[in-house]
Amino acid sequence: MTRAQLDKQPAEVSAMFDKVADRYDLLNDALSLGMDRLWRKVVAGAVGAEAGDLVLDLAAGTGTSSRAFTTAGARCVACDFSLGMLRVGASQPAPLLRFVAGDALALPFRDGAFRAVTVSFGLRNVADTGQALRELLRVTRPGGKLVICEFSHLPARPLNALYEQYLTRVLPLVARRLSGNAEAYDYLAESIRDWPAQRELAARIVEAGWLAVTWKNLSLGVVAVHQARRPG
Ligand SMILES: C[S@@+](CC[C@H](N)C(=O)[O-])C[C@H]1O[C@@H](n2cnc3c(N)ncnc32)[C@H](O)[C@@H]1O
């Protein structure tokens, strides 16, 4: 577990997201300089959901990550444990999208229910990464797909050092001004710094029982998209 995962109880994490829910999407766009839209397109391409598919978007928050999976006619379940985030999402309903309250550590779905499962910018916030990856495996049908989109680390060391300075000094300052919630965005910076690098996350995915893990860096490694398959 990372330090950020150890420092925060699940109830504190969900309360923190409840508090930022109203401004969450606005801040995402501002802090990523709009890059989040591009990252989400890559994730939707990796999931490749087609009409008739059922996709689970875990830690879906307001459902911004989920909407892209329904454009070709697939249905998507957006699951999160912050009722505040779900409420904001459900205020903009979409025909193929269903919001469900649930904990990543004990998912309220039957075994093998989904063709694909995905998490965008949420696995880092879950208290036990291994347990969440095992729960995702359980609810995926044999041969189904996992796609994880998460902040990561820049392979070039000097660039990564600069990026860490941005995370520590600039991001919390800007976020504090825009959101008025210092705690949430100090935690964001800390949780990104502590998160395992690309290769280590791939090893954890394999440990949880997934096969054929690959990853792709976006924006020089600021974000990494990992993919894997449930054994058939
Ligand atoms: C940074 S937001 C990501 C939201 C969305 N996926 C996106 O891309 O914008 C992280 C989400 O993870 C959720 N989360 C953290 N731990 C969770 C858990 N154990 N079970 C369900 N959701 C969880 C939080 O409530 C929050 O909405």
The 10s digit of each residue's pLDDT in 194-213 is: 999 999 999 999 999 999 99
Ligand 1, atom 10, lies closest to the CA of 122
pLDDT at 5 over 70: no
- Ligand 1 pocket (Cβ < 6 Å) reads 10, 13-14, 17, 59-61, 64-65, 80-82, 85, 103-105, 120-122, 125-126
Q: Counting atoms of ligand 1 from 1, which one is nearest the CA of 25?
A: 9
pLDDT at 86 over 90: yes
- Residue from 17, 67, 133 whose mutation best tests the ligand 1 pocket (most atoms within 8 A of CB): 17
Lowest mean pLDDT among 48-52, 137-141, 186-190: 186-190
Predicted pLDDT of residue 180? 72
Q: Counting atoms of ligand 1 from 1, which one is nearest the CA of 24?
A: 9
- The Å distance, Cα 230 to ligand 1 centre, comes to 22
- Range 188-217 burial, b when 16+ CB lie within 10 A, else e: bbbbbbebbebeebbebbeebebeebebee
Q: Counting atoms of ligand 1 from 1, which one is nearest the CA of 60?
A: 6
Give the confidence band of 214 by pLDDT, cuts at 50, 70, 90.
Answer: very high
Q: Return the beta strands (E) in the chain as ranges.
A: 54-58, 75-80, 97-101, 114-120, 140-151, 211-218, 223-229
Give the percent of the chain with pLDDT over 70.
98
pTM: 0.95
Q: Counting atoms of ligand 1 from 1, which one is nearest the CA of 127?
A: 19
Helix residue ranges per DSSP H, 34-179:
35-47, 64-67, 83-90, 129-139, 157-165, 171-179
Residue 40, SS3?
A: helix
Helical (H) or strand (E) element with 5: helix 3-7
- The Å distance, Cα 158 to ligand 1 centre, comes to 31
Q: Please state, in angstroms and rounded to a whole number, the distance separating the CA atoms of residues 84 and 62.
A: 9
pLDDT at 61 over 80: yes
Predicted pLDDT of residue 14? 94
User: Hey, which residues does 98 pair with through a beta bridge?
Assistant: 77
The closest of 229, 152, 148 to 198, measured between CA atoms, is 152
